[in-house]
Chains A and B, each alone.
Chain A
């Protein structure tokens, strides 16, 4: 990572060894403001540890303590967040210069006005050795930045640059607690109080557990498990159709940005915790509940000697993952435009759908209803290589999921051709929906055209291009002219008795656009 001035840790943590990490930004503390007249304290939230930490505690309390302390130091608590510069998060930074300093207040000139809820945000004074303070309030009229009482303003010459860091993360946290926490949980573990309301039906997706850093609906290539900011923005703005993730379309753009940063913060925190637990895995109790052999030496090696290195490695891996997800190189973008959405293309798509090479029907079923034969098989847990107890597909969180019912017209990842293309190309991360990036792009467009036509025209196309209703291939034999125009007449009178089934409307509305592709001959 980057080097720079060494800084001591923030207050409140006292790990066994020097836990500093050199970064350009300092390690800082943020405290959310005391909100309202009643004098109630802010949300009394605490981050929740991963379930395995409790198990670790039983064998090696040193390891558990180091783990929790390092998380505390580098991420803080919900009411006192820490901006750790190692992570690619926009904490929100405002630069300015100090005009004068008296007592515990500074008169400053800032490049932009901070949001009104500016409290306990970190102040970095770029003196020769950068100094940290905490702001308690800012008055836009007098331009006085008041520091918290414990900290006197340092002796700084006027003109010293300073930075206020953290207001965006803080805003994101407050918005998250109001809009998101009750499903996604304080720690982003998908276990808020409302989650048990969503848990009811077997196949309903639970709120996302961010702590693996895995997000399903991304626009990045396979192998990049992090999500881009744009992907998160899309999910929050559009919601996930057909699930309990609603659309937050009407949040302001800056509110959305703040929430996105906070979600990334929670994801990164979870990932680092997870990687540290992997590093400390040999210290976990064995299957029969006993401590591992060589506990003492393992403990010294893993929890003390190499711990910091493991932390630094975890941080850099996580940061790299998230940063490279933003790289335009890793975006899934077609090279050719969508092929014309005509009957021929759809037929080709259908054939590819049921072909043994690609075999979408294996999971999605012959009719696209998500009831393919693969569901009857028992799958293996990729982490433990053991079989799951019951047949069916599971996602990376080991929850049962179903392949999408393509006849419903509900597309969780978006309904644009580009979105469906991405599903076909890069799949859905953390699920058995694999990407088919090696399949030629033209073929993938044929599949896209076919899939998008299913809710409107049905799934079953025989080789003559005829549509039929599932399972019955008798149409394949009959011999009738391929002139479908004769079946539909647009000039039937309005008062025809209404006993025709709705799926064959006998009068279609006029349209100034060309009729649907399949009517073109």
Chain B
């Protein structure tokens, strides 16, 4: 692959000596860093929204039919109770917001955008305007999701299975809400596709000289593989979404008469409407949906895995244990991820023989995840660990990923999955991987790269408090759900306690709700920390963590164009504690070392040519990261 940077020449004229207007600089910016921050702010706010919806769900499960605070007043129905269809909307939109508006954009949109050019030594993305569009396409999606609330809320779960979602009569009162939901999913899909095209092209074409594929940080590997996943899987979901929109045939105007029946069999009478004309199959949606949504869960995991690898190496001052196996495992997870989608459908009535084939591939996919976990532990092994917010979040990632992965084994055993499918065991599993692993990884990444984004440090004290409360609240909320699932408590029940075999589970549900409230409130600490540190955090300098990546040689925050000069890469990103240098435990990728045998071979510090180390505002490099590491 090209190690020259052809785009750099073309960009020279961009190195703006013209002043951009406020709008062009902060709102419709094409600079990948600004777009990344825009993504980050938007997704953090969406995180709060999604979390509130979840708290509504938890409230109902703990105190069924009791007056719900906030939501009860806003959407109050008769008798001071929420209605069952409101509850359906709550869990549908919780999942939708979290998946489409939080996790995927924060990983790819915020961190992918910010880190990719910086880590590979490029000055911006390959397609800056497309990049900007990818952010702004999030807003129509948010608008249409919001509009669906207005219509009563999509009420078919985030999985939107027909016929509940395909026949307007089956969940009436949600009326146009399901249509709005489908349109919104299309917009967010377009946004993701734009992003993934950009990432792939940038990573393939715009790496700095010397940055071979196997010198890329694992973050870049994971972003690259994630982008491939997005590109190949998304079109299937988009197509399925259009098929369902046409099935619903409420588009009006010229599109009114479409009325296809991709997913609707014939002769079905719902809500005493006329029998359907049909000819379709409801199972088709499940195949199309999960063909995307299974790779989607890896989209929601892989970037966090990559970032955690980088952070762990930096925090433990050690190279990554098994860099190539780690990279190959990422690729294996992604590749296998395309052939496991049927494991969501073991009870669906598809051919039982498929149960066996999907079982085999699902069992296989546990292997690369296990290899990665062992390698992380290997990375920590023999390291010099500083327990700061970043480290804590990364360790939490590893330990909770273990729980999530191990609970997945139960589901890979098909007969056991028959029992636990659509119970709280599944809910526990995916929250452990998506929140326990990914989101903790994101919290760590926020803290770790904040100095690069804004030139300031986030508060360590607040970070640790936030971590502690979130960790305890998270485990208190989701660990008991494994037990609820084994006890047979199904998902998506507004009032499970009318079933006699579930009545005794109410105290545990109340415990879970209390923990969830604690966890939810703790996120306010993160928000406060983040926003206030932008303005009042201690200044950080270029490399507060003494980390090795290319991004740390750029100023904090980097200007448009990122680097003063094109960086040249001499080694991989994990040469911490290298014996090649004395007196320090890191050796940056872009640092030139004279070949052994020349004078003063040990001490690189004096020998550095001027190009790859900026002469001015020097101190940041040698400044031990005292502010980062902290009051323990």
- Interface of A toward B, CB cutoff 8 Å: 35-38, 40-41, 43-45, 78, 177-179, 181-182, 185-186, 192-194, 196-201, 203-205, 242-244
**Given the known A-B contacts A45-B79, A78-B79, A204-B271, are A182 and B84 also in contact in the complex, defined by CB atoms under 8 Å?**
yes
**Given the known A-B contacts A185-B78, A200-B271, are A35 and B66 also in contact in the complex, defined by CB atoms under 8 Å?**
yes
The reply to whether B66 and A40 contact each other, CB–CB distance below 8 Å, is: yes
Please name 14 pairs of A and B residues whose Cβ atoms are closer than 8 Å in the assembled complex, sorted by A.
A44-B67, A177-B81, A181-B78, A181-B81, A182-B81, A192-B78, A192-B83, A193-B77, A194-B83, A194-B173, A196-B172, A197-B85, A197-B171, A200-B168
Complex: how many Å from CA A194 to CA B494?
A: 14
Complex: how many Å from CA A36 to CA B66?
A: 9
Who on chain A is nearest to B78 by CB? A186
Those of B59-76 within 8 Å (CB) of chain A: 63-67
B273 located at the interface, meaning its Cβ lies under 8 Å from any Cβ of chain A in the complex: yes
B80 located at the interface, meaning its Cβ lies under 8 Å from any Cβ of chain A in the complex: yes
Complex: how many Å from CA A243 to CA B271?
A: 7
The reply to whether A45 and B80 contact each other, CB–CB distance below 8 Å, is: yes
A182-B78, A194-B83, A201-B272 known; 16 new pairs, CB 8 Å cut-off, are A37-B510, A38-B63, A43-B79, A43-B81, A177-B81, A182-B81, A182-B83, A186-B79, A194-B173, A196-B173, A197-B171, A199-B173, A204-B271, A204-B273, A205-B272, A244-B271
Interface centre among A44, A193, A194 (most CB of B within 10 A): A193
The reply to whether B272 and A182 contact each other, CB–CB distance below 8 Å, is: no
Q: Closest 5 interchain pairs by CB?
A: A200-B172, A44-B80, A193-B83, A45-B79, A197-B173
What 0/1 readout, one digit per residue, does chain B (137-171) give for beta carbons within 8 Å of chain A?
A: 00000000000000000000000000000001101
The reply to whether A203 and B272 contact each other, CB–CB distance below 8 Å, is: yes
**Given the known A-B contacts A36-B66, A194-B84, are A44 and B79 also in contact in the complex, defined by CB atoms under 8 Å?**
yes
B9 located at the interface, meaning its Cβ lies under 8 Å from any Cβ of chain A in the complex: no
B298 located at the interface, meaning its Cβ lies under 8 Å from any Cβ of chain A in the complex: no
The reply to whether B498 and A179 contact each other, CB–CB distance below 8 Å, is: yes
Complex: how many Å from CA A44 to CA B77?
A: 10
The reply to whether B169 and A200 contact each other, CB–CB distance below 8 Å, is: yes
B86 located at the interface, meaning its Cβ lies under 8 Å from any Cβ of chain A in the complex: yes
B495 located at the interface, meaning its Cβ lies under 8 Å from any Cβ of chain A in the complex: yes
The reply to whether A38 and B66 contact each other, CB–CB distance below 8 Å, is: yes
Who on chain A is nearest to B82 by CB? A193
Who on chain B is nearest to A196 by CB? B173
**Residues of chain B contacted by A45 (CB below 8 angstroms):** 78-80
Those of B216-253 within 8 Å (CB) of chain A: none
Complex: how many Å from CA A194 to CA B84?
A: 8
The reply to whether B67 and A199 contact each other, CB–CB distance below 8 Å, is: no
CB distance from B151 to the nearest CB of A (A): 12
Complex: how many Å from CA A141 to CA B472?
A: 41
Number of A-B contacts (CB under 8 A): 84
Who on chain B is nearest to A37 by CB? B510
Contact residues of A: prevailing secondary structure: loop
Who on chain A is nearest to B76 by CB? A44
CB distance from A486 to the nearest CB of B (A): 33
CB distance from B59 to the nearest CB of A (A): 9
**Residues of chain B contacted by A201 (CB below 8 angstroms):** 169, 172, 271-273
The reply to whether A177 and B272 contact each other, CB–CB distance below 8 Å, is: no
Complex: how many Å from CA A95 to CA B505?
A: 36
CB distance from B506 to the nearest CB of A (A): 9
**Residues of chain B contacted by A185 (CB below 8 angstroms):** 78
CB distance from B515 to the nearest CB of A (A): 15
Who on chain A is nearest to B68 by CB? A40
Complex: how many Å from CA A307 to CA B47?
A: 60
The reply to whether A178 and B78 contact each other, CB–CB distance below 8 Å, is: no
**Residues of chain A contacted by B64 (CB below 8 angstroms):** 178
Who on chain B is nearest to A38 by CB? B63
Complex: how many Å from CA A204 to CA B79?
A: 25
**Residues of chain A contacted by B495 (CB below 8 angstroms):** 178
Those of B62-115 within 8 Å (CB) of chain A: 63-67, 77-81, 83-86
Who on chain A is nearest to B499 by CB? A250
**Residues of chain B contacted by A200 (CB below 8 angstroms):** 168-169, 172-173, 271, 273
**Residues of chain B contacted by A243 (CB below 8 angstroms):** 272
CB distance from B463 to the nearest CB of A (A): 32
**Residues of chain A contacted by B273 (CB below 8 angstroms):** 200-201, 204
Who on chain B is nearest to A36 by CB? B63
CB distance from A106 to the nearest CB of B (A): 32
Who on chain A is nearest to B59 by CB? A38
**Given the known A-B contacts A43-B79, A201-B273, are A193 and B66 also in contact in the complex, defined by CB atoms under 8 Å?**
no
Complex: how many Å from CA A511 to CA B344?
A: 42
CB distance from B178 to the nearest CB of A (A): 13
**Residues of chain B contacted by A38 (CB below 8 angstroms):** 63, 66
Who on chain A is nearest to B79 by CB? A45
**Residues of chain B contacted by A204 (CB below 8 angstroms):** 271-273
Complex: how many Å from CA A37 to CA B509?
A: 14
The reply to whether B79 and A177 contact each other, CB–CB distance below 8 Å, is: yes
Complex: how many Å from CA A187 to CA B269?
A: 31
The reply to whether A181 and B79 contact each other, CB–CB distance below 8 Å, is: yes
**Given the known A-B contacts A78-B79, A186-B78, are A199 and B172 also in contact in the complex, defined by CB atoms under 8 Å?**
yes
Those of B576-626 within 8 Å (CB) of chain A: none
**Residues of chain A contacted by B65 (CB below 8 angstroms):** 43, 177-178
**Residues of chain A contacted by B498 (CB below 8 angstroms):** 178-179
Complex: how many Å from CA A283 to CA B510?
A: 53
Complex: how many Å from CA A41 to CA B79?
A: 11
Interface centre among B78, B495, B498 (most CB of A within 10 A): B78
**Residues of chain A contacted by B173 (CB below 8 angstroms):** 194, 196-197, 199-200
**Residues of chain B contacted by A182 (CB below 8 angstroms):** 77-78, 81, 83-84
